[in-house]
Amino acid sequence: MVDPVDSKAVVLDIGGKKRAFDIDDPKLPGWVDDNAFSSGGYPYPDKLDKEVFAKTLEDLQAELVKVQFWLQKTGGRVMALLEGRDAAGKGGAIHDILAYMNPRNAHVVALTKPTETERGQWYYQRYIAHFPTAGDFVLFDRSWYNRAGVEPVMGFCTPEEYERFLAQTPRFEKMLVQDGFFFFKFWLDIGREMQLKRFHDRAHDRLKTWKLSPMDIAALNKWDDYSQKRDRMLKETDTDHAPWTVVRANDKRRARIEIIRSILTALDYEGKDKSVVGTIDSRIVCSGHAFLD
């Protein structure tokens, strides 16, 4: 549980209304609980049925196993970035994607803050060291896009470094695609009340409290700042060669299904069963520019 010495009640501006939120209080405020699922304009009233989710997920995971055999046979390389606000569901989605894939050739990269040596390197350098080789399937739980969001919001980079990143990244990513990478970028989007609910759940669950960081608490009053940086990121880096896929993620079940489905839809792998892959839900998934529009 969060140490009350290390966290404080805050007053948040939610839709023009001042709302008190104390993450140490074990009782979740009614205004959070009542609005969490629908927050951010989520298009469904309820979670995807648990049994439907389990069956659909298992079938899609079997397709991912086919993808891995195909990559090993052809030497293809898949790399996917999962980005989003804290508590957007990146880790859980990655877990379900990799659940039945061979960990020798399919794994997650989740880097900590850069070392002193890494801070002196070219910004992309420490990420490149983890890129997939032939036959590999690599997922980044956060990526170089830290410089498009958390770093400028929290003051961890200069304005010049931020602007340079936005200018250089489309060119950097174009090189990856030209070199033959199957490259995916997912932004998991959640509403504000949903984020607060998930933070609160973490704070009061002894198995998940490690997920709640001081950075999460510090960001409670920076929602609008993060939104502005997200929109600028999508505007500048949603390109034809490396597009963003925005996934509405208030319902973790639908989000995980649609992330996997999006990857499978884009790959022409051996033995692909299109009836299993299905059709991407346009109410949950859209492009970066469509999201901004």
The rounded mean pLDDT for the chain is 95
pLDDT at 3 over 70: no
Structure tokens at 177: 């695609």
pLDDT at 204 over 80: yes
Give the mean pLDDT of 113-123.
Answer: 96
Contact status, residue 140 vs residue 81, Cβ threshold 8 Å: yes
Q: What is the pLDDT of residues 69-103, one digit of tens each?
A: 999 999 999 999 999 999 999 999 999 999 999 99
Q: Which helix (H) or strand (E) holds 159?
A: helix 159-178
Closest CA to 40 of 255, 195, 258, 262: 195
Q: How far apart are CA 215 and CA 219, in angstroms?
A: 6
CA 287 to the chain's CA centroid: 14
Closest CA to 277 of 286, 266, 267, 264: 264
Tokens 């950075």 belong to 215
Give the range among 21-30, 115-124, 213-222 with minimum mean pLDDT: 213-222
Q: What is the pLDDT of residues 8-46, one digit of tens each?
A: 689 999 888 899 999 999 999 999 999 999 999 999 999
Structure tokens at 167: 């200018």
Contact status, residue 237 vs residue 143, Cβ threshold 8 Å: no
The pLDDT, as a whole number, for residue 215 is 85
The pLDDT, as a whole number, for residue 61 is 98
Domain range 10-292, CATH class: alpha beta
Sign of CA dihedral 181, 56, 238, 224: negative
Closest CA to 127 of 169, 164, 178: 169
Give the mean pLDDT of 231-237.
Answer: 98
pLDDT at 2 over 50: no
- CA distance readout (Å), 53 to 42, 56, 251: 18, 5, 11
Q: Which residues contact 268 (CB under 8 A, 6 or more apart)?
A: none
Structure tokens at 263: 């990857």
pLDDT band at 1; cut points 50, 70, 90: very low
**Between residues 291 and 9, the one the model is more confident about:** 291
The pLDDT, as a whole number, for residue 8 is 60
| SS3 state at 247 | strand
Q: How far apart are CA 252 and CA 14, in angstroms?
A: 23
Find residue 84's DSSP bridge partners: 188
Q: Which residues contact 11 (CB under 8 A, 6 or more apart)?
A: 18, 19, 20, 21
Give the range among 158-172, 209-223, 264-278 with minimum mean pLDDT: 209-223
Closest CA to 219 of 111, 36, 86: 86
pLDDT band at 216; cut points 50, 70, 90: confident
Structure tokens at 253: 């079940």
Its pTM stands at 0.95
Q: What is the pLDDT of residues 121-173, one digit of tens each?
A: 999 999 999 999 999 999 999 999 999 999 999 999 999 999 999 999 999 99
The pLDDT, as a whole number, for residue 160 is 98
- The phi and psi torsions of 126 (rounded to 5 degrees) equal -70, -20
The pLDDT, as a whole number, for residue 165 is 98
pLDDT at 7 over 80: no
